[in-house]
Amino acid sequence: MPIRALPTLLINQIAAGEVIERPASVVKECVENAIDAGASRIDIAIEVGGKELIRISDDGDGIPEDELELAIAPHATSKITQQDDLDAIATMGFRGEALASIASVSRMSIVSRPRDQQQAAVIEVEGEQVHPVRPAAGPPGTTVTVRNLFFNTPARRKFLRTDQTETGRIGDVVDQLALAHPAIAFRLRIDGRTTLDLPAEELPRRRAVAILGPELDQQLIELWTQDRGIDLWGLVGRPEIARSNAKHLRTFLNGRMINDRSLMHAVREAYRGLIEPSRYPTAVLFLQMDPGQVDVNVHPAKAEVRFRNQGSVHGMVLSAVRSVLREHDLTPGVQFSRDNDPASHLALPRMPTPEFGAGNVSSSSTGSDAQRTRDDDSSRFVEYFRQLNPTQKGFIYSEVKQALRTEMPELVDESDDAKSGDDSEPGSAESAREESLPSFRSANDVMQVHSSFLVTQDEQGLLIIDQHALHERVMFEKLKERLAAGPLESQRLLMPATVTVDRDQVDLLESLQPLLTRLGIEAEPIGPTSIAVHAFTSLLFSRKVEPEPFIKELFDKASGDGLADDSEAALHEVLDMMACKAAIKAGDRMSPDELQELLRYREKIERSSNCPHGRPTSLRLSIRDLEKQFGRS
Give the domains, in start order, of the chain with CATH numbers: 8-198 (3.30.565.10), 204-326 (3.30.230.10), 361-435 (no CATH), 439-633 (3.30.1540.20)
- pLDDT for 393 equals 39
- pLDDT for 545 equals 92
Q: Point out the least confidently predicted range of 24-28, 110-114, 124-128.
A: 124-128
Residue 9 has pLDDT above 80, yes or no: no
Residue 117 has pLDDT above 90, yes or no: yes
532: amino acid identity, one letter: A
β-bridge partners, 533: 497, 523
**pLDDT tier, 344 (very low <50, low <70, confident <90, very high otherwise):** very low
CA distances to 144, 258, 340, 350, 557 from 345, in Å: 56, 50, 9, 14, 52
Q: Point out the least confidently predicted range of 110-119, 313-322, 377-386, 597-606.
A: 377-386
**pLDDT tier, 231 (very low <50, low <70, confident <90, very high otherwise):** very high
For the segment 11-58, what is each residue's pLDDT rounded down to a tens digit?
666 655 567 889 999 999 999 999 999 999 999 999 999 999 999 999
Instruction: Please tell me which of 194-208, 378-392, 607-621 the model is most confident about, judged by mean pLDDT.
Output: 194-208
β-bridge partners, 618: 465
Mean pLDDT of the 418-429 span: 40
pTM for this model (two decimals): 0.68
**pLDDT tier, 569 (very low <50, low <70, confident <90, very high otherwise):** confident
CA distances to 343, 349, 396 from 627, in Å: 9, 13, 14
d(CA 211, CA 386): 47
The strand ranges marked E within 128-260 are 129-130, 134-136, 141-147, 185-190, 193-198, 220-227, 230-237, 249-253, 256-258
Q: Point out the least confidently predicted range of 5-14, 198-207, 232-241, 397-406.
A: 397-406
Residue 404 has pLDDT above 70, yes or no: no
In whole numbers, what is the pLDDT of the chain averaged over residues? 81
Per the model's pLDDT, the better-predicted residue between 13 and 188 turns out to be 188
Mean pLDDT of the 130-144 span: 95
- Side-chain half-sphere exposure of 610, counting CA atoms within 13 A: 23
Compute the CA torsion angle 213, 215, 216, 217 (nearest 10 deg). 100
- The dihedral built from the CA positions of residue 205, 206, 210 and 215, taken in this order, carries a sign that is positive
- pLDDT for 507 equals 83
- pLDDT for 547 equals 93
**pLDDT tier, 127 (very low <50, low <70, confident <90, very high otherwise):** confident
- pLDDT for 341 equals 47
**pLDDT tier, 454 (very low <50, low <70, confident <90, very high otherwise):** very high
Task: Provide, rounded to the nearest whole percent, the portion of the chain with pLDDT above 70.
Answer: 76
**pLDDT tier, 92 (very low <50, low <70, confident <90, very high otherwise):** low
d(CA 555, CA 33): 54
Helix, strand counts (H, E) of the chain: 21, 23
Residue 605 has pLDDT above 50, yes or no: yes
**pLDDT tier, 335 (very low <50, low <70, confident <90, very high otherwise):** low
- pLDDT for 128 equals 78
Residue 252's nearest CA partner among 178, 169, 166, 170 is 178
Say if strands 193-198 and 256-258 run parallel, antiparallel, or are unpaired: unpaired
DSSP 588: -
Mean pLDDT of the 584-601 span: 90
Mean pLDDT of the 512-532 span: 92
For the segment 170-182, what is each residue's pLDDT rounded down to a tens digit?
999 999 999 999 9
d(CA 443, CA 160): 65
Per the model's pLDDT, the better-predicted residue between 81 and 489 turns out to be 489
Q: Are 207 and 182 in contact (CB under 8 A)?
A: yes
- pLDDT for 47 equals 97
